Homo-oligomer: A and B are copies of this chain.
């Protein structure tokens, strides 16, 4: 078979995904820069946002939502607690789990950071039609479901 004909770049799905990956990489770098003013990084923002939405979540649940290991949370959370952004309180029913809460300061930082992120996204995607964005969202959520399903199947 001819090599040229089978080059991955000729496959629409492949090309499309490579573009998605590069865009993500760039957006992440840009977000990192934008968040520097608040002295936090994207992983911190991920945590803050989840505490903002799901107050009292456990470290385990948080790690699962963020698709990272538990040890990652064990490294990041104490340092965020020292910075007074979050608070960890033991669950009385189950003494193993630590439940996580935003402090007042943490809530302020979260809102500021979300504003920065929202602004960055709105600015960068300004030229994309809303319908296209919504179609992409639907598409991506389906892909996420597929990948999560594959993950569970591998256990």
Contact = CB atoms under 8 A, between A and B. Distances in A.
A33 B153 CA distance: 13
Most buried by B among A140, A142, A144: A140
A22 interface: yes
A155 interface: no
B24 A24 contact: yes
Interface string A36-71: 000000000000000000000000000000010000
A89 to B, nearest CB: 24
A139 B33 CA distance: 23
B128 A26 contact: no
Contacts of A130: 12-13
Interface of A: 8, 11-17, 19-30, 33, 67, 114, 117-118, 121-122, 124-125, 127-128, 130, 132-137, 139-144, 146-148, 150-151, 154
- A-B interface, 9 closest residue pairs, ranked by CB to CB distance from nearest: A19-B140, A16-B137, A26-B147, A24-B24, A16-B133, A13-B125, A23-B140, A8-B118, A23-B143
